[in-house]
Structure 1
């Protein structure tokens, strides 16, 4: 699904103010703002979808999603060559997806996953309290979320789903062919296409105003926002990687984006290029509106529902203050105000954790230190996932199209 060179009205006339943290790193890395041509291209890409997957979903819908979904899942897990009676459109799609690009270096991807696991629970907290909450200022995203059940299903479950996808991606061997991260990423891509098809058929979706749902610009921004922004933000809380690890994170992000259906022109070529993409898409998309507080405010009290095994009432209130403090520290009070969030919270948690994380980052440089840090961090990530969501997380459950994705 792609339209011709239309730039929808949601695209601003000039670049918007980039979040302070992103702007700071861009200056340090000597990243220039988008040129006029680059900025216009981001506007055009708001009307470009994912034709290979959109064609698959169209054909599956004609054959019956309920009938064809098990065939799709079998190909995900076992390969298209081992999937009997797969229709030609699935064969064509999976032959491309399974032909891993030559530039993919699985050793570097494993290196990146190890570093990202070593970020531990604090890495997840930065993803939640900075990337996700701050992302609600990108109001173009919000139109899709609000129409696919984000309020009904709840912000806590949505973040748990996003986190489960990320943890699948950075699991041991997760991005090998048919690995859990490979499968989860292609499932997300499938769900994106279902959502795109559904919303375009709705009477209230205005392409001239909004572009396509889950378009190339939005997907590129979400890719680097999910996988690169937390690594940048982690520096502010003492989580520091080596230059080689940051480079490997860029490689992992590129491959995940390729699997997700992001066009080559929006795939980062390395970590610095990923920061450039984050900076440029932020300049095009950072336009808060009345939907921003609608989606951000429910996250304030999500920690009050978390399942702590000991002293739950006290720990829930501490967690609420903790997560507001992280948002305040990184986003600043003016951004908190625009998002409809409290502006009187002291940013106490990041300074408290900084020396602990910095010491752990230094210890990880010792022989075997990164492997130990990765194991410890992975345990803490899985533990906080159980605290946030006591039931198993199903990717796609926060959209009312979940019945099509089961």
Structure 2
């Protein structure tokens, strides 16, 4: 288990910012315009304690897997820990499964009392209907926004998964987002359900490695991949995602909004996020996103390195002079959209280009909004949009993977150290 206990640690790690001292104009504007029930000092204080908390069930299993050896040698009849996990997440617990794996699967096999699978499917359909716009928001807003935090980005920086393998890692992240947002994908044993549990265990394995690393600065950063950072990521993919889609012109009904939030509430629950942190609706998600943002530390060199690597992905995939020119334009548009949604302070922190391309949205959003109005008026158009959006997202996900499956397996070692380690 992680060796830094809250009872033996300062109230908060040094990374925790006092909201009263965070003068970010964009966060202040968000609070004024979109948060009706203000975050209380008690909620801020409680959120800070989650920087010390991990995921007890997954952490216990990661430790057991580590003791067994992630790739166990011996008789061919003896399964490796990762093979046992793969079998378990499909709904077939191995006979020789350790007690920790039995406990984890027992807990996730019992649906939470609040679960409404009809809402999950509504959220999945909106995610599919978003098509290319959804990918745009997840990359330019959800991922880019998460990299701004100088503390939350440390696990990625330490493992070197973005700097050295940016196209591949982004393709696998996109595959995860695709898998968990298909209609029916979150049924027990289905593709999205499996992906959520595999990523949960990947987080636990990385948490164990970093928690044991002498270079991990617990007093500064808290526990690696802690509950506060897990819920911050969750709301970036739910509430902030919905806001980004609206900025692009997508029209989202109240039921669709609730469906997306419910879908990610269940994904978060499967991935070990504390139930009391998971928002029920978009308003609660926006409050949580604000709370996460206002207490984060400012960007550092790792933030800029990760932001640059993410921005460069289109160029890394381009072949030929014409493709590279198109990739350069795409980079400018994506960086501009990040600045529009996250704010110029975030764009400056991440080292993103700041040029007139960011105002292209003033021309594209009205066109998309008009098309969305037509969709709502024409019978069958919404269903067609779901099917087309799903097909487009599938092609966008599968092409970068080049036929190689996304395994969601943890790294076996720390590839590099953070620039600030």
TM-score norm. by structure 1 comes to 0.90
Question: CA contact under 8 A between 1:104 and 1:255: conserved in structure 2?
Answer: yes
Distance 1:309-1:106 versus aligned 2 partners, 3 A rule: farther
Distance in 2 between residues matched to 1:239 and 1:155, nearest whole Å: 29
Give the unaligned 5+ runs of structure 1: none
Moved over 4 A (4+): 22-26, 307-311, 386-389, 397-403
Distance in 1 between residues matched to 2:233 and 2:301, nearest whole Å: 21
The structure 2 residue matched to 1:115, chosen from 111, 116, 126, is: 126
1:257-286 CA deviation, whole Å, 9 max, x = no partner?
Answer: 100100112111222211111111111125
The structure 1 residue matched to 2:382, chosen from 362, 365, 370, is: 370
Give the alignment's Cα RMSD to 1 decimal: 2.5
The structure 1 residue matched to 2:44, chosen from 39, 44, 47, is: 39
Q: Residue in 2 aligned with 1:3?
A: 5
The structure 2 residue matched to 1:300, chosen from 301, 311, 328, is: 311
Give the unaligned 5+ runs of structure 2: 72-79, 416-421
Distance in 2 between residues matched to 1:332 and 1:248, nearest whole Å: 27
Distance in 2 between residues matched to 1:389 and 1:8, nearest whole Å: 38
Q: Residue in 1 aligned with 2:111?
A: 100
Q: Does 1:392 align with 2:404?
A: yes
- The farther-off stretch of 142-151 and 95-104 is 142-151
Distance in 1 between residues matched to 2:55 and 2:110, nearest whole Å: 18
Specify the SS of the correspondent of 1:45. Answer: helix
Q: Does 1:317 align with 2:328?
A: yes
Distance 1:238-1:382 versus aligned 2 partners, 3 A rule: same
Distance 1:265-1:70 versus aligned 2 partners, 3 A rule: same
Q: Residue in 2 aligned with 1:50?
A: 55
- The farther-off stretch of 356-365 and 159-168 is 356-365
Q: CA deviation at 1:222?
A: 0.6
- The farther-off stretch of 213-222 and 225-234 is 225-234
TM-score norm. by structure 2 comes to 0.87
Q: CA deviation at 1:119?
A: 0.9
1:23-54 CA deviation, whole Å, 9 max, x = no partner?
Answer: 65554444344322211212111000000110
Q: CA deviation at 1:306?
A: 2.4
Q: Does 1:74 align with 2:87?
A: yes
Specify the SS of the correspondent of 2:304. Answer: helix
1:58-84 CA deviation, whole Å, 9 max, x = no partner?
Answer: 11222222222111110111333xx33
1:243-265 CA deviation, whole Å, 9 max, x = no partner?
Answer: 11101111111111100100112
Q: CA deviation at 1:12?
A: 1.6
**For residues 3-402 of structure 1, what are the structure 2 equivalents within 5 Å?**
3-5=5-7, 6=10, 7-15=12-20, 16-17=22-23, 20=26, 24=29, 26-66=31-71, 67-80=80-93, 83-285=94-296, 287-306=298-317, 312-366=323-377, 367-386=379-398, 388-392=400-404, 394-396=406-408, 399=411, 401=413
1:160-210 CA deviation, whole Å, 9 max, x = no partner?
Answer: 222111110111211110111111011110000000100111111121211
Distance in 1 between residues matched to 2:382 and 2:25, nearest whole Å: 31
